[in-house]
Amino acid sequence: MRETYLKKESRENKQLPKVKINQMRQVNANGLLIPALGQGGWRIGDDPARAESEIAAIRRGIELGANLIDTAEMYGGGRSELLIGRALRGIPRDKYILVSKVYPHNADRNNMFKSCEASLRRLGTDYLDLYLLHWRGSVPLEETVWCMEKLVREGKIRRWGVSNFDTPDMQELWQIPGGKNCAVNQVLYNITSRGIEYDLIPWCEEHNVAIMAYCPLAQAGSLRRMNVDVRTEPTIAAVAQKYGATVMQVMLAFVLKKSCVCAIPKAGSVAHIEENVAATQLEIADEDWGMLDCVYWPPSCKMHLDIE
């Protein structure tokens, strides 16, 4: 990918030096390489007035290497997939990695194949790079895995994964025939919600399963897991100022510093996706991460898996 230069601004909109964006770092998802930074599709396509801005953001992100595009049949009842399909028209299929998710109640022999075909139609593609079980439901995992493996054999999907699975769920999955082919576990993870660091991230890293972090920006800081508002907390603001970054960029850099983790923040505008991509270039010193640990504590015991 050609080198691209983005301009960053501080919280005071002061002009800062240009940031050099090189090839996006890759994450190993059980043999499938995916970019460390992608783009989320939750609430994308909900507002027709924002459609052109959202389409422009998706296309700009692909240009900059954030070419992992995540969506789900649940998002807007298919509107997210439809808008993403519009955004991807005319872009060669090998230039992006497409992820969608199936409802738990559709993850059986009677419904998964129809759900997958419907997602493919809305997205305007012949295959998905990753197809995820959105969360665990009443359908036995054995049946869901069988369906996923059949979709792989049929060429409808390249790989499959899960979402909102905790460590015991992953351990159970690993005992199922074909379960070890799981490539990704998509879970909530950000600086205010770090419970998965205790056991889930180490387990996934050991088994070559990539963690795909949703809500890595805690919904622009409004999704609080502690009695601290990340948008106004002075420690993270001071770290951001030291590196000429925004608070949101520091939050994204926190998620991306683990080699087995990729992030899929939503970006509704070109400026937003450029800000996100620029965050991949931040190199924050260990002592500054240590300062943030004093405010946003790492887990010291097993914690309940956060789900939104």
Q: Is residue 307 part of a domain?
A: no
Contacts of 66 (CB under 8 A, 6+ apart): 24, 35, 37, 38, 39, 273, 276, 277
The answer to whether 197 and 298 are in contact (CB under 8 A) is yes
> CB-based burial of residue 103 (10 Å sphere; 0-12 exposed, 13-18 middle, 19+ buried)?
middle
Question: Is 40 part of any domain?
Answer: yes
In terms of residue numbers, what domain contains 123? Answer: 23-293
Count of CB atoms situated within 10 Å of the CB of 21: 20
Residue 262 forms beta bridges with which residues?
A: 212
pLDDT along the chain (308 residues), means of 10: 37 39 84 97 94 97 96 97 98 97 98 98 98 97 98 98 98 98 98 96 97 90 59 92 96 96 95 96 95 93 88
**What number of other Cβ atoms are within 10 A of residue 227's Cβ?**
5
CATH number at residue 104: 3.20.20.100
Give the list of residues 6+ apart from residue 299 with CB closer than 8 angstroms, or none: 194, 195, 197, 198
Q: Is residue 253 part of a domain?
A: yes
54 near 24, Cβ under 8 Å? no
d(CA 102, CA 32): 20
Bridge-based pairing of strands 32-35 and 4-9 is unpaired
Q: Are 213 and 187 in contact (CB under 8 A)?
A: yes
How would you write the chain as a 3-class SS string? CCCEEEEEECCCCCEEEEEEECCCCEEEECCEEEECECECCCCCCCCHHHHHHHHHHHHHHHHCCCCEEECCCCHHHHHHHHHHHHHHCCCCHHHCEEEEEECHHHCCCCCHHHHHHHHHHHHCCCCEEEEEECCCCCCCHHHHHHHHHHHHHCCCEEEEEEECCCHHHHHHHHCCCCHHHCCEEEEECECCECHHHCCHHHHHHHCCCEEEEECCCCCCCCCCCCCCCCCCCHHHHHHHHHCCCCHHHHHHHHHHCCCCEEECCCCCCHHHHHHHHHHCCCCCCHHHHHHHHCCCCCCCCCCCCCCC
Examine residue 17 and state whether it is found in any structural domain, yes or no: no
The confidence score (pLDDT) of residue 1 equals: 36
Pairing relationship of beta strands 26-29 and 184-188 according to DSSP bridges: unpaired
pLDDT digits (tens, 9 = 90+) for 222-249: 555 555 678 888 999 999 999 999 999 9
| 113-120: long-range contacts, CB 8 A cutoff, minimum separation 24 | 113/147, 113/150, 113/151, 113/156, 115/73, 116/151, 116/156, 116/157, 117/156, 118/73, 118/78, 119/73, 119/78, 119/81, 120/156
Q: Per the domain annotation, does 251 fall within a domain?
A: yes
The domain total for the chain is: 1
Residue 27 domain-assigned (yes or no): yes
In a domain, 301, yes or no: no
Given this model, what pLDDT does residue 16 score? 35
Q: What is the pLDDT of residue 219?
A: 73
CB atoms within 10 A of CB 243: 18
In a domain, 15, yes or no: no
